Copies of this chain bind each other. A is one copy, B any other.
Amino acid sequence: MPIPVTLTVLNTCTEAEFVELLGTVFEDAPWVARAVAGLRPFADADALHAAMMAHVRELPQSQCQDFLALHPELAGREARMGVMGTDSTVEQGSLALAALSVEEAARWEELNQAYRHKFEFPFILCVRRHTRASALHNFAKRLSNDRDTEFAAALEEVGRITRLRLASRIEGHGLANIAGRLTTHVLDTAAGRPAQGVRIQLFEAGGVERLLADMRTGRNGRTEQPLMDGEPLPAGQYELRFHLGDYFRVQGLTTDEPPFLDVVRVAFGIAEPEAHYHIPLTATPWAYSTYRGS
């Protein structure tokens, strides 16, 4: 991928340079960048992205369909053969689709075939907004769409994919609505103060369990960094594990063996990848509460 440049550079470079810099934002379609080069300067990255999407949406339907048809399948032949574009390779990598079991691969293959047979273009999904389970769920659901609905859904996903790609091409892009955030906060309600030094683990769940973060709360009961941020939060199932037993043992409040509360598990789902999920825990050695906060 090209090194990010500022919007000013994009607004002032030659058309050839502009296409060079943004030509791979739309999969196999440098002509999208070329088509909007003449509309420069853009007030901001949002205006640039809107112009690119408008160009695609205004294509005659058959041409638009050809454009969609050039996208690689998810977990498809291109991925297996290693002939996808760099962006797609990185994006699909986030789902570890290459590491599918034989059964899972067969399921994806089956969906890919059914989808291509029904719609005549491949299933397009902004995979950075999904866990593997969520991607699969979405795939099966969209397969039941009628053609018009699905055509619109595919373009919607193209918009999401290219928005994220554009963000990676522009230094200080300022694009809204491209990242979510997951934060937490632990309150010791036995002592009436933030719980400091509580170990918190974040796991992806809902299939293979995968450790995503392992942090400790600071003096204010929060982790120094959000548990996830700077990216869309992949829709899917997660679990937070709060190591409360260790914390209260240090306070001298937990003496039972085993303690009544030890590792508190908060399983939750993310359905809005660009939202802020704040999931605090208020706890004593004998009670806890959690909620979607803000």
Contacts and interface: CB of A to CB of B under 8 A. Distances in A.
Nearest to A188: B286
Contacts of A287: 187, 189, 192, 282, 289-292
Given A187-B293, A284-B284, A286-B191, A259 B269 contact: yes
Contact of A189 (B185, B267, B284): B284
Nearest to A220: B294
B268 A261 contact: yes
A286 B289 CA distance: 11
B206 A260 contact: no
Interface string A262-294: 111101111110000000001011111111111
A256 B269 contact: yes
B258 A235 contact: yes
A292 B286 contact: yes
Interface residues of A, number: 44
Nearest to A238: B258
Contact of A271 (B194, B236, B257, B282): B257
Given A190-B190, A260-B269, A288 B286 contact: no
A72 interface: no
A285 B235 CA distance: 17
Contacts of A290: 287-289
B271 A267 contact: no
A187 to B, nearest CB: 6
Interface in A177-208: 185, 187, 189-194, 206
A284 B292 CA distance: 10
A57 interface: no
Nearest to A289: B289
Contacts of A292: 189, 192-193, 260, 286-287
A260 B266 CA distance: 11
B190 A258 contact: no
Contacts of A268: 260-261
A235 to B, nearest CB: 7
Nearest to A237: B258
A206 B285 contact: no
A140 to B, nearest CB: 12
A272 B286 CA distance: 14
Nearest to A131: B258
Interface of A: 134, 137, 185, 187, 189-194, 206, 220-221, 235-237, 256-265, 267-272, 282, 284-294
